[in-house]
Structure 1
Amino acid sequence: MRKPIKHAVTHDHLLALVPTGPAWQVDWGEIWPLWSELATLDACPQDLIHHAEGDVGTHTRMVVEALVADPDWQGLPEVDRTNLFWAAVLHDIGKPAVTKHEDDGRISSRGHSRVGASIARELLWYAGSPFAWREALCGIIAHHQLPFWLIERPDPQRMAIETSWRCRPDHLCLHAKADAMGRKCEDQQSILENVSLAALTFQEANCWDHQFAFANDESRVAFFELEDRDPHYEAHEAFPCTVIVMSGLPGVGKDTWIGKNCPEHPVVSLDTIRDELGVSASDNQGQVIQAAHERAREHLRAGRDFVWNATNVTRQNRSRVLRLLRDYGACVEIVYLEENPDQLRHQNRERPDAVPEAVITHLSKKLEPPQLWEAHRVNLV
């Protein structure tokens, strides 16, 4: 388990370290000591077939230098330049956690993109980076290898459309080009060609520098649910009820938000059900979930608007309740609340039923804020 992250780095400091013209000089002496996670990259080996340059730290610095030297990056608006710069610095931050020496002598790092996005999210949360900026960066990290192999997938256009709702494709391909340039391997030219073909695929799917435009919210939700759904199909929208699904770490203020914004709505609260059943948060939650789902079904059968109140900080947890709501044809709105770490812990301590800080730390490392494609509406508070 990763140790709690210290508060030394600020977002303003990160912005100040992004190179500017005309020199475009990267200050590695300032950047590399920022987080201990960066130092571990220098000791993390890579498979020499794909990375003859050596360790992850060397590769990372080569990628960043390639990005900074790219006129396409230099010509971006400042907010995009800073975002892609730090995405490049952190793009392989997950490798030390998953790198493995295989029996055949090869080195693998399966899952490092997803793990890296999680680590970067926590680092930038503590740094106080704006939510949208941070999540755009994490989207790049989570999918940074996709342009390498997109064209080889059975349905690359569908994957391109999906990806456009997870990160910005033109920025993703710009990063991928730098990632390919920042390595030594025999197939570098082939990788660059695949990145170019991925760019063409995004352009042909009409989602190169923006999200693919679905006919309406239901069309989008159905597309992500059904593998054979035509992205251009206009789905009928007629919902028997609307369900608000809360999401956020303990102590962030979900109950307060509900009280202010929908005080008349019935609430299915996992905390309340735990109290009623005498089940601790550390106990098996099967009985609690079963009771919550049954209460939700009662509201759904009656066509009644209600609130589902739980932490729902991972996509897997949200998917269970979202599937139930979709089975009844409900319109789903996710409300995600977030506070900076200090304020969150202060609010938690003020609660009569304060959650142990170790639990908050554990959940913050797993945090996956809801993305816009997960529901009909996603409200980020």
Structure 2
Amino acid sequence: MWTLTNNKTWEGICREFDFVRDMEGVPQDPVHHAEGDVAIHTRMVLDELQKLEGYKALTGGEQEILWTAALFHDVEKRSTTVREEDGSITAKGHAKRGAMTARLLLYTQYLAPFTIREQVVNLVRYHGLPLWAIEKPDPAKAVIEASMVVNTQLLSLLARADALGRMCSDQQDLLYRIDLFDALCQENRCWGKAREFASPNAKFQYFRREDAYPDYLPFDDFGSTVVMLSGLPGAGKDTYVFHHYREWPVINLDAIRREHKISPTDKSGNGRVIQMAKEQARVYLRKGQNFVWNATNITKAMREQLVELFVTYKAYVKIVYV
């Protein structure tokens, strides 16, 4: 079983991890965290987590994932904490930045397997959701979307430990909000598991449209299939295509660059490369022909842009992470 560390005493953790030592002296607003700095809060969260009956009922592997997420959950308050003009202390964006830090460290230093790493990362990313889900414009969609990438039952336990591991006047309100989150997840059939949809297209349409209903089953009317690869350079995208789609046409941005002698660092040239690739894609899409889009596509914005292009032509899009 993977473990971040076998020494889970606070003294041992502080000796082993510099990111934990960085928490010392990082202030928090006394209204919400009268206990003190981020290090004190994190220590209290870890203590409270291990007292929870829900935590004790988990498997050893699940406990390690949740414990690691609790250790990381406020790691980037060190870089986001500011004192506002009114004297309050905030750390806006610390969950998102903390998730990036957790991913980096668990990939480069502590070598967590992919599935474990991503569970920890998304627990860190969404650790505040149970407190605020009920105030979202669409609370049901908020919890259903989160369930696609994080175990909501573990997320609830993390949020509960986070609420208990602090000194504040509204602690009971925080715990009540978490209870509402639990009920919301159960009501929407995403408690401790990803919400199931009638079909992949039903899931896609639900998250694509604001007025979609999770149980709606759209008619599948696809003209072609587009396989879009996503992965860092050198990850093995070409090898994947060779083994799985060697008979399909491939739009390869690197090949277009080589053909037109355009450097990867040439920004204007790369713009032309993308436009040429999109035009070739339109040719295949108009014909209803299957093809592979082979590029890094590591940003959500780029993937969304391409998906919108493909589905405009009624293509079924399959994203493969390499």
Bin of the TM-score, shorter chain as denominator length: over 0.9
Correspondence for 1:71:
53
For 1:74, give the aligned amino acid: K
For 1:315, give the aligned amino acid: K
- Distance in 1 between residues matched to 2:188 and 2:58, nearest whole Å: 23
Q: Alpha carbons of 1:281 and 1:213: their partners in 2 closer, same or farther (altered >3 Å)?
A: same
Correspondence for 2:111:
128
| Moved segments of 4+, more than 3 Å | none
Give how far 1:251 is off.
1.0
Q: Alpha carbons of 1:57 and 1:190: their partners in 2 closer, same or farther (altered >3 Å)?
A: same
Give how far 1:97 is off.
2.2
Give how far 1:34 is off.
3.2
Is 2:41 the partner of 1:59?
yes
Q: Alpha carbons of 1:93 and 1:294: their partners in 2 closer, same or farther (altered >3 Å)?
A: same
Deviations 1:119-160 (A, max 9, x none): 101111122211111111111111100010111223212222
Alignment of 1:177-188 (within 5 A): 177-188=160-171
**TM-score of the superposed pair, with normalisation by structure 2:** 0.94
- Distance in 2 between residues matched to 1:277 and 1:114, nearest whole Å: 39
Correspondence for 1:330:
315
DSSP-derived class of the 1:16 partner: coil
Deviations 1:249-295 (A, max 9, x none): 11111111111211111111121222233332222132222222111
| CA root-mean-square deviation | 1.6
- Give the counterpart of 1:163 among 122, 141, 146: 146
For 2:311, give the aligned amino acid: R
Alignment of 1:33-182 (within 5 A): 33-126=15-108, 127-182=110-165
Give how far 1:33 is off.
3.3
The answer on whether the counterparts of 1:50 and 1:185 sit within 8 Å (CA) in structure 2 is yes
The answer on whether the counterparts of 1:240 and 1:329 sit within 8 Å (CA) in structure 2 is yes
DSSP-derived class of the 1:196 partner: helix
- Distance in 2 between residues matched to 1:163 and 1:35, nearest whole Å: 29
Percent of aligned pairs with the same amino acid = 40
The answer on whether the counterparts of 2:2 and 2:61 sit within 8 Å (CA) in structure 1 is no
- Give the counterpart of 2:279 among 294, 304, 327: 294
Q: Alpha carbons of 1:207 and 1:301: their partners in 2 closer, same or farther (altered >3 Å)?
A: same
Correspondence for 1:218:
201
Q: Alpha carbons of 1:335 and 1:138: their partners in 2 closer, same or farther (altered >3 Å)?
A: same
| Number of matched pairs | 319
The answer on whether the counterparts of 2:3 and 2:64 sit within 8 Å (CA) in structure 1 is no
Greater CA drift, 205-214 or 139-148: 205-214
DSSP-derived class of the 1:308 partner: strand
Correspondence for 2:6:
16
Give how far 1:15 is off.
5.6
The answer on whether the counterparts of 1:247 and 1:311 sit within 8 Å (CA) in structure 2 is yes
Deviations 1:331-374 (A, max 9, x none): 1111112xxxxxxxxxxxxxxxxxxxxxxxxxxxxxxxxxxxxx
Give how far 1:90 is off.
0.6
- Distance in 1 between residues matched to 2:107 and 2:77, nearest whole Å: 20
DSSP-derived class of the 1:334 partner: strand
Give how far 1:239 is off.
1.6
Structure 2 unpaired stretches of 5+: none
Give how far 1:245 is off.
0.9
DSSP-derived class of the 1:42 partner: coil
- Distance in 2 between residues matched to 1:78 and 1:13, nearest whole Å: 10
Alignment of 1:213-362 (within 5 A): 213-284=196-267, 285-337=270-322
Q: Alpha carbons of 1:12 and 1:153: their partners in 2 closer, same or farther (altered >3 Å)?
A: closer
- Distance in 2 between residues matched to 1:241 and 1:35, nearest whole Å: 50
- Distance in 1 between residues matched to 2:321 and 2:240, nearest whole Å: 10
Give how far 1:321 is off.
1.2
The answer on whether the counterparts of 1:15 and 1:82 sit within 8 Å (CA) in structure 2 is no
- Distance in 2 between residues matched to 1:76 and 1:137, nearest whole Å: 15
For 2:28, give the aligned amino acid: Q
- Distance in 1 between residues matched to 2:290 and 2:20, nearest whole Å: 47
